């Protein structure tokens, strides 16, 4: 095999590699003579001579025997990089020189240096707050985050997140750790009312402001609790400001309760606006005495109101005795027909009815005449009795008066209905009656009635 002229049967080293065949694992291979791990691969060719899984070259670096199965490198994390070479022996991601426990893959830091790694320690920073409740479990100076804004309270200038700084809340006497407890700030300027000198920001300091928390008000002249801007009567005198300012003239001051407009009837409606100045129920437009609550009409225009005048129509007959106290042309109505005796004289029978004795005498005389006529007629021939009786019946006296009283000459009875818009358009020469509604009898005898809209309608 080795060409040394000694046949293999006699040659003690067939491959001439320097190792006798009895000790040569590969007697016919001059490049191999040892197989440390018995894997059939010579040690010169085998990269892991001892078959321990570690390459011979690595074992050399790891200072172990590459041909001894009993000499194996230390490899804490089992990554086939021996510890002496591996920069992260426990393979926990932390290099050994930064790893508090380089051979413990479960630990790498001990924040509070209490000998218990942070992963096992339930209070890493040893601040007394368990890590699960600690805002900053690795910061011994922080443990709470009241408002959950991820800024711990000791560093947070607004612990409760109510937009008020902790220092302001302390000045404003509210709880900086309670978001429901925040300072009153009427004007929203982030200066609490306790500190703010103008709480409602209306430009008037609180000490001079009648309504320090209402930006729309600052004065209350009449002290009624309603600010002047909202108050319709600033001085509380009963007269609206708008009336005192302009509607009632310029003689009154809306901010002075001792200055009031002219008001004759004291009904809190100034005379310039009052349609009934004396409050007698009659509008000034029809009231002849607008400043006298006891008078409103003067039928006879004598300057004395009808209520005080004893003879309203000035016909010489006192109203108590006058059947037509508002008609200067009439004063009697002896037959009670509603028509004056001057315009409608009594009939003979009506006159007689006023004197019963005279009426009785007249009737007796009339019956006597009729009886005499009948008696004379009975003296006629008996054969003409029937004819005479018929003749007597035909001679019966007709009634003196018809059922319908004739209309006196000169009187015009209007037909239909006429209407005027006011008393000023009524026909002249008439008289008013104190009735409800008021009536007016014009010179023609027509009756006009006042309507609710102050117009007059002739009936």
Instruction: Give the C-alpha distances (Å, rounded to integers) separating 152 from 136, 145, 149.
Output: 7, 4, 8
Most confident of 93-102, 143-152, 323-332: 323-332
- The pLDDT of residue 131 is 78
Q: Tell me the C-alpha distance between 359 and 347, whole Å.
A: 13
At residue 384, the pLDDT reads 56
In the sheet that 447-450 helps form, which strands lie side by side, from edge to edge?
A: 418-420, 456-458, 447-450, 439-441, 431-433
pLDDT above 90 (res 226): yes
pLDDT tens digits, one per residue of 417-429? 589 999 888 888 8
Q: Is the pLDDT of residue 328 over 70?
A: yes
- Measured between its terminal Cα atoms, the distance across the chain in Å is 168
Q: DSSP states of 249-296 as a string?
A: -SSS-TT-TT-----TT-SSS-TTT-SSTT-SSS-TTT-S-TT-TT--
Residue 25 has pLDDT above 80, yes or no: no
Encode pLDDT of 310-324 as tens digits: 888 888 889 898 889
- 381 pLDDT band (50/70/90 cuts)? low
Six token digits for residue 427: 């026909």
Whole-model pTM above 0.85? no
Identify whether the C-beta of residue 137 lies closer than 8 Å to the C-beta of residue 131: yes
The burial of 82, by beta-carbon neighbours within 10 Å (0-12 exposed, 13-18 middle, 19 or more buried), is given as buried
**Which range has highest mean pLDDT (80-89, 199-208, 239-248, 352-361)?**
199-208
> Is residue 448 scored above 80 in pLDDT?
yes
Higher pLDDT, 414 or 170: 170
Domain residue ranges in the chain: 345-404, 412-458
Encode pLDDT of 243-262 as tens digits.
Answer: 888 788 767 888 888 888 88
Mean of per-residue pLDDT scores for the chain: 81
Nearest CA to 245 out of 264, 223, 226, 273 is that of 273
- pLDDT for 282: 93
Residue percentage of the chain with pLDDT more than 70: 91
- Lowest mean pLDDT across 17-31, 108-122, 223-237, 410-424: 410-424
Q: When comparing pLDDT for 131 and 186, which is higher?
A: 186
Structure tokens that stand for 302 in this block: 């004598």
- Per-residue pLDDT at 71: 81
Looking at residue 287, its pLDDT comes to: 87
CA distance 305 to 296: 7
Q: What number of CA atoms fall less than 13 Å from residue 106's CA on the CB side?
A: 5
Q: Which pLDDT band holds residue 396 (cuts at 50, 70, 90)?
A: very low
Average of pLDDT values for 296-311? Answer: 87
Task: Tell me: pLDDT of 353 over 70.
Answer: yes
If you average pLDDT over residues 299-304, what whole number do you get?
87
Q: What is the pLDDT of residue 224?
A: 92
Length of the chain: 459
pLDDT at 223 over 80: yes
The pLDDT value recorded for residue 362 is 77
Whether 25 and 33 have beta carbons less than 8 Å apart is answered as yes
CB 180 within 8 A of CB 187: no
Confidence of residue 217 (pLDDT cuts 50, 70, 90): very high
Tell me: pLDDT of 443 over 70. Answer: yes
Tell me if residue 393 falls in helix, strand or coil: helix
CA distance to 69, 323, 373, 402, per residue, from 350 (Å): 170, 18, 27, 13
| Confidence label for 66 from pLDDT (cuts 50, 70 and 90) | confident
Mean pLDDT, residues 87-99 taken together = 80
Asked whether the predicted pLDDT for residue 406 surpasses 70, the reply is no
Q: In this predicted structure, what is the pLDDT of residue 211?
A: 93
Confidence check: pLDDT of 204 > 60: yes
pLDDT digits (tens, 9 = 90+) for 270-290: 888 888 998 999 998 998 899
């Amino acid at each position: 095999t080795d060409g040394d002229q000694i046949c293999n049967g006699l040659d003690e080293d067939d491959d001439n590699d320097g190792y006798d065949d009895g000790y040569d694992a590969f007697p016919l291979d001059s490049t191999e003579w040892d197989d440390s791990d018995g894997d059939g691969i010579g040690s010169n060719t085998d990269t892991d001579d001892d078959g321990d899984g570690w390459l011979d070259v690595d074992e050399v670096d790891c200072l172990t025997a590459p041909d001894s199965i009993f000499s194996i490198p230390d490899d804490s994390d089992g990554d086939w990089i021996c510890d002496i070479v591996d920069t992260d022996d426990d393979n926990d991601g932390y290099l050994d020189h930064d790893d508090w426990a380089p051979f413990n893959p479960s630990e790498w830091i001990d924040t509070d240096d209490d000998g218990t790694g942070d992963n096992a320690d339930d209070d890493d920073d040893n601040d007394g707050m368990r890590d699960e409740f600690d805002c900053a479990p690795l910061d011994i100076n922080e443990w709470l985050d009241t408002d959950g804004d991820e800024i711990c309270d000791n560093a947070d200038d607004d612990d409760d997140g109510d937009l008020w700084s902790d220092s302001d809340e302390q000045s404003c006497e509210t709880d900086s750790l309670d978001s429901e407890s925040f300072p009153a700030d009427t004007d929203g300027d982030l200066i609490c009312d306790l500190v703010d000198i103008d709480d409602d920001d209306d430009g008037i300091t609180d000490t001079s402001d009648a309504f320090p928390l209402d930006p729309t008000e600052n004065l209350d002249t009449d002290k009624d609790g309603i600010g002047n801007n909202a108050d319709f009567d600033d001085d509380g005198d009963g007269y609206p400001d708008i009336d005192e300012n302009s509607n009632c003239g310029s003689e009154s001051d809306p901010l002075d309760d001792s200055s009031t407009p002219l008001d004759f009837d004291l009904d809190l409606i100034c005379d310039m606006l009052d349609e009934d100045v004396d409050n007698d129920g009659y509008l000034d437009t029809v009231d002849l005495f607008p400043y006298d609550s006891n008078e409103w009409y003067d039928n006879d225009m004598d300057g004395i109101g009808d209520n005080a005048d004893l003879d309203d129509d000035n016909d010489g007959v006192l109203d108590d005795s006058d059947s037509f106290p508002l008609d200067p042309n009439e004063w009697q109505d002896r037959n009670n027909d509603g028509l004056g005796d001057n315009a409608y004289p009594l009939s003979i029978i009506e006159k007689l009815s006023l004197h019963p004795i005279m009426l009785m005498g007249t009737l007796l005389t009339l019956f006597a005449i009729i009886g005499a006529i009948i008696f004379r007629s009975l003296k006629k021939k008996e054969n003409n009795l029937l004819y005479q009786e018929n003749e007597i019946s035909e001679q019966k006296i007709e009634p003196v008066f018809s059922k319908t009283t004739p209309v006196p000459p000169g009187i015009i009875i209007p037909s239909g209905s006429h209407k005027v818009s006011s008393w000023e358009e009524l026909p002249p020469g008439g008289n008013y009656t104190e009735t409800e509604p008021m009536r007016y009898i014009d010179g023609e005898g027509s009756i006009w009635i006042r309507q609710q809209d102050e117009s007059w309608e002739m009936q």
